[in-house]
A = this chain, B = another copy of it.
């Protein structure tokens, strides 16, 4: 049985002390009420719900999994999942960050990020259902017509219905240009949608009375490839004029997948057999709406990485403190006990500090990105909004790519601390590893994130977001270069940041001569970017800790973890730099 306690102190530290979120949020449009008191109250309530309702269902959900009934094409979720969702919806969590005009609470995205972290720590598999709803909500807020918002968005916001993203097909994974699902127009403006979608999270379940599928498909006159993709709303049950549920639509789950982990999440094959659907956004421009959903989802998946790592860290730290095994190399630390606790062993501390560096740094980084979303939506200055949007879209592949990959390392180290006991199901550590393994794959693999970062955010968009970020870090370094608290970190941060700019220019130049250089550099460039980004938030964390309300121990821990990060993790950028510079010539055809 694993433990989980929401890390409220560290969340507050990230929000208020490092990011100064209260000052930022209360000056945004509609943010007058978003004071620390309000945010704290929400965090407290979220902690209660997640610790008490969702966390205890994590292991049982894994053991039971979802069950598909072929005769009725229905999915039964693990015991307790449905009831937890009812409480979630009744608690207003589904609409936490949705706009008030659709029935949401209009609370900041950065608060949504923190509550999402708690959900995913408590129960990663369960959290996938609301994650999908959240993506659908975003797409409908931005691209839906008034009727679509009234009909489909409001029930999503109040949690009565849930959503999905129906993108992947057997032959079309990362390559959506290959998709074959068709949408043919009816006389009444609706469409008949036909095709098979796979890997549809939350495609069928027992949580809600209806499911809103957002489906990528081709209209009859669609251009080939990714320029001919449209997005359609296909509800599980048709909706009558008055908003009540009508007859069953011609869409159904054909099977669920047997997966390595997240077994409580129903991953469905969805068959569309002339299902009634409604075009959302312009014809053939479905990828735009898809990216709206996808960006929200990618940030969410990055947070999943931090969340599962947080829980793995809590359990491995707990175990390392309690498990007695061997003596400290310099002599017994607790001679009265039969052996010393694992924490006396420097290598165990290395594994713990690795996790902490990624988790606490990742928490600040994800919150920083989410806060850019709030600024982008609601700052009064259009230029500030634009910059924040560029920064956010630049950071999303970094947050998604780095934090999901870091989660592989963190959950691995957490299990390793348990020794052989980590391999046994009853200790729960191996579930974290299995659950975490999906997150570098879905919503775009790490390779896809890397191409988004280097190919799109750097090359196509001329690195607008990177420029903002590099400027911000440089300003930070200049401002605090003589600050005794943080100056030990400023030097290496400034060097790494300068190198980041140089590496970017060099790779961009080489890529203009040979586009294959992009592909050869992308993943290493993603890691490089991620590690420097974490160095920045760690330097900010050390600075912020000084004046914060953290305990003396917690302040020291921030400093220790930053020192660990800078001396033992950040040097990885040199390996990635070497790989980037080695270029495509070192990645020849695999014979």
Contact = CB atoms under 8 A, between A and B. Distances in A.
Interface of A: 168, 171, 173-175, 177-178, 199, 257-261, 317, 320, 324-326, 328-330, 338-339, 343, 345-350, 352-353, 356, 408, 412, 415-416, 419-426, 430, 433-434, 437-438, 440-442, 445-447, 450, 455, 514-516, 518-520, 522-523, 553-554, 556-557, 560, 563-564, 567-568, 571-572, 574-575, 578-579, 582, 584, 586-591
A229 B89 CA distance: 60
A419 B441 contact: yes
Contact of A347 (B326, B450, B589): B450
Nearest to A321: B590
Given A349-B589, A419-B441, A447-B348, A329 B515 contact: yes
A258 B425 contact: yes
A420 B442 contact: yes
Given A350-B523, A563-B586, A445 B433 contact: no
14 contacts: A173-B419, A174-B419, A175-B339, A257-B425, A258-B425, A317-B590, A330-B516, A349-B587, A349-B590, A408-B412, A420-B442, A423-B441, A557-B591, A571-B578
Given A260-B430, A520-B350, A586 B568 contact: yes
Contacts of A574: 571, 574-575
A323 to B, nearest CB: 9
Nearest to A323: B173
Interface residues of A: mostly helix, strand, loop or mixed?
A: helix
A171 B326 CA distance: 11
A324 to B, nearest CB: 8
B587 A578 contact: no
Given A178-B339, A356-B590, A590-B352, A447 B347 contact: yes
B579 A567 contact: yes
Question: Most B CB atoms within 10 A — which of A430, A441, A587?
Answer: A587
Given A178-B338, A339-B175, A425-B259, A523 B347 contact: yes
Given A259-B424, A557-B591, A437 B441 contact: no
Contacts of A553: 591
Nearest to A352: B590
Contacts of A445: 416, 419
A10 B574 CA distance: 32
Contacts of A563: 586
Contacts of A325: 173-175, 178
A421 B257 CA distance: 10
Contacts of A347: 447, 450, 519-520, 522-523
Given A178-B324, A257-B425, A343-B589, 18 more contacts: A177-B339, A258-B424, A259-B424, A260-B425, A346-B519, A349-B588, A350-B523, A352-B590, A408-B412, A416-B445, A416-B446, A420-B441, A433-B437, A556-B591, A557-B590, A557-B591, A560-B588, A567-B586
B437 A423 contact: yes
Contacts of A408: 412
Contacts of A519: 329, 345-347
Nearest to A522: B347
B591 A328 contact: no
Contacts of A554: 591
B419 A590 contact: no
A584 B346 contact: yes
Contacts of A171: 324, 338
A324 B170 CA distance: 11
B338 A520 contact: no
Nearest to A257: B424
